[in-house]
Amino acid sequence: MTITYQHLKDGSAAEARAAIRAGQYQGHTAGLGSGVLQANLAIMPEKYALDFMRFCQRNPKPCPLTGVSDTGNPMMATLGQDIDIRTDVPAYNVYRDGKLAETVTDIQALWQDDFVAFALGCSFTFEHALQRAGLPLWHVENNTTVPMFRTGIDTVPAGPFSGKMVVSMRALPQDRVEQAAGISRRYPLAHGAPVHWGDPAEIGIQDITRPDWGDAALVGAGETPVFWACGVTPQVAIETAALPLCITHKPGHMLITDVSENAEVPDYRT
């Protein structure tokens, strides 16, 4: 039985995860799990985990670290009740030697005893606050995946991990951009304030109608494109690192946690 996005939109995080685990929902998670943190995902062998953690510490804007599993344990106990990282994400990208090899909806058959799973904050979290303030979100209203772009902004390398920052874009009324920036700034676990707004070319984006991930979104008259650091950034770093095997979420298809969207940011940077 398939469960629709509209059915889950007003439900709880646990209801959404249950539908995802049962294979009844495999779509994007924007607008789901109101009031809780959504998370990006990176899973890799333990031998690379310390360098990846350093990469997150050095790049907290695109990679706000919110949870790390024990080695070989797929249960993300610090993020919620009965969260199994192998089944509770709608879709996963599997990278082999830095190349996207396949997209799957369950990674139980791929799980290894030396895997470490990282959860990174996601901008979907602060979208609920933007909506409560009456700010329009085209991708949520039209049931599409937020557009994401590679930029020319460098990240700080760590071990084999490096690359350019990825951003997500939302078009907002020109007179409300500062308001949106102020609202999102209150959510450091969800990338915080925007990294840029206005001309996309200033951050290396040449064609705003052709996102690298997600779906194109309309920028209407009187609107300004606003760009937030994005948790797909580690996927670029993973491509650069060319690990033999690494698993991430499919962009736009997040882990919905039980952590409050107002949670304090952990001090991983000391």
Residues 17 and 111 in one domain: yes
* 76 is a domain residue: yes
List pLDDT tens digits, range 46-81: 999 999 999 999 999 999 999 999 999 999 999 998
Residues 17 and 85 in one domain: yes
How far is 170 from 233, CA to CA, in rounded Å? 17
Structural domain tally of the chain? 2
Residues 111 and 133 in one domain: no
What distances in angstroms separate CA 89 from CA 18, 25, 38, 42, 119, one per listed residue? Answer: 10, 10, 10, 12, 11
Give the single-character DSSP code of 77.
Answer: T
- Residue the block writes with tokens 């139980």: 108
List pLDDT tens digits, range 237-248: 999 999 999 999
Report residue 111: phi and psi, to 5°.
-65, 140
List pLDDT tens digits, range 104-120: 999 999 999 999 999 99
Domain coverage including residue 246:
9-123+240-260
Q: Which CATH number covers residue 164?
A: 3.30.2040.10
Residues 158 and 201 in one domain: yes
Per-residue model confidence (pLDDT) at position 222: 95
CB 121, CB 37: distance < 8 Å: yes
